[in-house]
Amino acid sequence: MSHPPTAGRKAHWLGTDEVHVWMAAPNRFYQPELSSQYVSWLDEQERSRYDRFHFSQHRHEYLIAHALLRSSLSRYGGCAPAAWRFTTNAYGRPELATEQGQPPLRFNLSHTTGLVACAITRSADVGVDVECIMRTGDLATIADMSCAPEELTELQPLSGAAWSQRFFNLWTLKEAYVKAQGQGLSIPLQQVRFRLDARETIQLDALPEPASTPAWQFALLQPTPQHCLAVAVSLDHLLQVQFGWVVPGCEGHPMRFPYTSTQDGVQRQD
């Protein structure tokens, strides 16, 4: 296993038109030495929350998610994973503390059963959401509470796996967009309307914000048979997305994933 990034190591390149999304599977990292290393990276607030989890699975997922965040930031800045400090905006979204003196990195973190993901940009607003499409429960009620009428109309003729796939595509897109906005639950999900046209190009048909703001761009993919992932980025020029798997603290491995985008349907990573 390679050593974790440290201050003074050469930072990886991240262009202003790029978002890099790093993913990890928590169930692969139960080695005691890794867990001890990751716990040592946490700050006091993170450690307090980590200790409060009642179920070991949730505690472990939280640890891997925050180890992934810290090690991902260290790819592009000069800090060791334990050195990053965070603050929150008025709605509670985590941001890098301004006194860091590091590049103006923006990030967003998401985790679900079996998968964690961290999206990083140089300066653009970004949101990422991952969901387990095997999730059970009253999904129809969730859809009624979160989908626009036009989206519900599209869902109505579907059933079984086709219904679940379309619902989670819409749900992750909405969650990624709201997280990128950084305004929490102040944006009603029913007012955020997505459409996948005949070419499977993502269209945001309604958004509660002035038209003068930068364009919103999206990417949607299924990194595993059990998971759906969406990215939202506020960017005026063509979005470039890189996805990859990583062991937090070790070198990552970019992967080729077909993904649906805002521009021209299904794309493949270069």
* Residue 221 identity: L
Q: Which residue has the tokens 């301004």?
A: 98
168-177 per-position pLDDT tens digit? 999 999 999 9
Q: Two tokens at 8? A: 């003074």
Residue with tokens 């970004």: 126
Average pLDDT over residues 7-12: 54
Q: How far apart are CA 18 and CA 28, in angstroms?
A: 28
DSSP category for residue 63: H
Of 100, 20, 71, which Cα lies nearest the Cα of 251?
71
Amino acid at 198: A
pLDDT in tens, 104-160: 789 999 999 999 999 999 888 999 999 999 888 889 999 999 999 999 999 999 999
Q: Quick: pLDDT tens for 246-256.
A: 999 887 777 77
Phi and psi at residue 45, in whole multiples of 5°? -65, -45
Write the pLDDT tens digit of every residue in 62-88. Answer: 999 999 999 999 998 878 999 999 988
The rounded distance, in Å, linking the Cα atoms of 44 and 10 is: 28
DSSP 37: H
pTM of the predicted model as reported, rounded to 2 decimal places: 0.87
Residues in the chain: 270
18-263: CATH class: alpha beta
Cβ(204)–Cβ(177) under 8 Å?
Answer: yes
* Pick from 106, 47, 41: nearest CA to 67: 41
Tokens standing for residue 25: 């599977």
